[in-house]
Amino acid sequence: MKKIFITGSGSGLGKEAAITLARRGHTVYASVHYEEQIASLMQIAEKENLDLRVFLLDILDPEQRKKILFYDIDVFIANSAIGNSGSVADVPIDFIRSVFETNVFCNLSMIQLAIKRMLEKQKQGRIIILSSLVGRIPMPFLSPYCASKFALEGFATCLRQEMKLLKKLSGKQIQVCLIEPGAYATGFNKENNEKKYEWMGTDSYFAPYVNWIQEKEVKVWNFLEQKPYTSIVQRYVKAVESNHPRFRYFAPWWQAMFVQLGRMLGM
């Protein structure tokens, strides 16, 4: 059984993953962003007698990020993410900056702290980074989120190669994995898409066409979004428990297949 530290576990896939991993007997340190998210997780933990320890952590706060240094952990899951949307041609740059601050810079800071702790204590560990299938093929009007996931894909690839070299040189081993969810009906995707309509109807080159775009998007997301989340939560489990983890875990399979096909065709 492993000791797992996961961020962003107050809702959505992070919450389901934290509960599932605890049910499988792991010790799970589950950080949440909002105080009201603690109660539902603690209720499940107490009812099922799970080793699920829930606490507040704002990854935007450098001092709060250091909380990870007080835990002996085998696995760190960088699961925190926010999103925003809009046309690249006119989306406010501050919206993009905000997404990158959370999804890229703060997650990277947490990853560095996790590696520091792992190498100091047990000389090994595993880093699991939540990316997305749109971190491989982007979607129109979702650029702030897509670009942040593209950045994480690049950092994760470099980190994996560097940690392999570290193992060869020192014997210390940090394994690196990516989890790439497709579209799941957590509410996250639709919430991010709707953000652009707060301003795009008046302050965008696409303002005259907003109604048409919105109608098309509703149809696309209704077709794409999956529920339940079992297929992707099982990828969290495999990334944590496999003795020889793959670099990429993704679901649902049919969305991943289209992504791979699209990349082969140069999309």
The full set of domain ranges for the chain reads 3-264
Main-chain dihedrals φ then ψ at residue 174, nearest 5 degrees: -120, 115
Q: Which of 75, 149, 153, 154 is nearest to 111 (CA)?
A: 75
Q: CB-based burial of residue 94 (10 Å sphere; 0-12 exposed, 13-18 middle, 19+ buried)?
A: exposed
Residue 263's pLDDT band (cuts 50, 70, 90): confident
Mean pLDDT across 96-104: 98
Q: Cα separation of 30 and 54, whole Å?
A: 5
SS3 152: helix
Residue 73 has pLDDT above 80, yes or no: yes
How far is 217 from 148, CA to CA, in rounded Å?
21
pLDDT per position as a tens digit, 15-56: 999 999 999 999 999 999 999 999 999 999 999 999 999 999
Q: What is the pLDDT of residues 102-141, one digit of tens each?
A: 999 999 999 999 999 999 989 999 999 999 999 999 999 9
Reported as type and span, the H/E element at residue 182 is none
The three-class DSSP label of residue 115 is helix
Q: Which residues contact 113 (CB under 8 A, 6 or more apart)?
A: 65, 66, 68, 69
- For residue 236, the surrounding DSSP H or E stretch is helix 230-241
Q: Which residues are CB-contacts of 201 (< 8 A; sequence separation ≥ 6)?
A: 207, 210
Estimate the share of the chain in helix, then strand, then coil, as percent rounded to the nearest 5.
55, 15, 30
With beta carbons less than 8 A apart as the criterion, state whether 95 and 151 touch: no
**Which phi and psi angles does 90 have, rounded to 5°?**
-150, 10
The Cα–Cα gap between 167 and 178 comes to 19
Tokens of 98: 């905000």
pLDDT, position 227: 86
Query: If you write DSSP's letter for every residue of 113-152 in order, what string do you get?
Result: HHHHHHHHHTSEEEEEEE--GGGTS--TTBHHHHHHHHHH
Mean predicted lDDT score pLDDT of the chain: 96
Task: Give the model's pLDDT for residue 81.
Answer: 97
CB contact at 8 A, 176 and 247: yes
- What fold, for 3-264? Rossmann fold (3.40.50)
Name the one residue in this structure whose structure tokens are 């992070």.
Answer: 14
Answer for the pair 78, 59: CB distance below 8 angstroms, yes or no. Answer: no
